Amino acid sequence: MALTDSEVLLLMGPPGAGKGTQASKLARARVLTKLSTGDMLRDHVSRGTALGQEAKAIMDAGNLVSDEIIVGMVRSALENRENESVRVLLDGFPRTPGQADALNDLLTEFGAGLSAAVLLEVNEDELVSRLLQRANDQGRSDDNEETIRNRMKVYKNQTQPLIDYYQTRGKLRSVDGLGSVEDVFARITEVLS
Ligand code: B4P
């Protein structure tokens, strides 16, 4: 495949499934630009922008920032990309059916299509233990037990329906997210080959 061809991958999964971790590796390996809505939001928070001030309390409670803000951020990232083709890896977006519809519209507008949606599957005990470990290592303000519990609930109610959405469209690739980072990466590479 020539690098001028468009490729759009998205990584889905519950909080702590390894999306951010795998997204960085996958983007490097396939020469894609990583677009992480979580990273973009944290960047706004740390710069103290109006958007960041609005998002901070929502993120700290483990809720989802509005579709309007998120879709606006992704749209500007796509508009500001360096290459003619659309070669992106979406990390943590879409997270609601409304965002998934908006992504379809955006990709049509930019002349690209979704290549695959990779779902990382990890059981809840392991998710909680990873996030509490990260709380120790990095002190992220949404990695405390109460917020983690809410993030899991929000994932089940608002994001899990996207599994069917992408399954029905023949785009879903499920991957076991347990094991070492390298093992999980090898599984992802295999389902995309
Ligand atoms: P995100 O930044 O997407 O946070 P996340 O779901 O916790 O995933 P993350 O990528 O950070 O963690 P990962 O699983 O890689 O979102 C944060 C918040 O932003 C959301 O709650 C929401 O408020 C807001 N937001 C973001 N996108 C939004 C959207 N589209 N719509 C609305 N709101 C949005 O890793 C977790 C930990 O596990 C790490 O410490 C990692 O080192 C570890 N780990 C990874 N792989 C492992 C492995 N194989 N084994 C052991 N540990 C592993």
Indicate which CATH number applies to the domain containing 17.
Answer: 3.40.50.300
Atom of ligand 1 nearest to the CA of 15: 6
Q: Residue 118: inside a domain, yes or no?
A: yes
Q: What is the per-residue pLDDT for 84?
A: 81
149 is catalytic: no
Q: What is the per-residue pLDDT for 4?
A: 63
Q: What is the pTM of this model?
A: 0.94
- Which are the contacts of 74, defined by CB distance < 8 A and separation ≥ 6? 35, 37, 90, 93, 102, 103, 106
Q: Residue 2: inside a domain, yes or no?
A: no
Q: Residue 11: inside a domain, yes or no?
A: yes
What is d(CA 174, CA 10) in angstroms, rounded to the nearest whole number? 12
pLDDT in tens, 51-71: 999 999 999 999 999 999 999
Q: Residue 124: inside a domain, yes or no?
A: yes
Nearest residue CA, atom 17 of ligand 1? 38
Number of structural domains, the chain?
A: 1
Q: Residue 185: inside a domain, yes or no?
A: yes
Using 70 as the pLDDT threshold, list the residues of the chain that sit under it.
1-4
Atom of ligand 1 nearest to the CA of 179: 49
Q: What is the per-residue pLDDT for 158?
A: 97
Q: What is the per-residue pLDDT for 81?
A: 86
Q: How many CB atoms lie within 10 A of CB 73?
A: 20
Domain coverage including residue 44? 7-191
Q: Residue 1: inside a domain, yes or no?
A: no
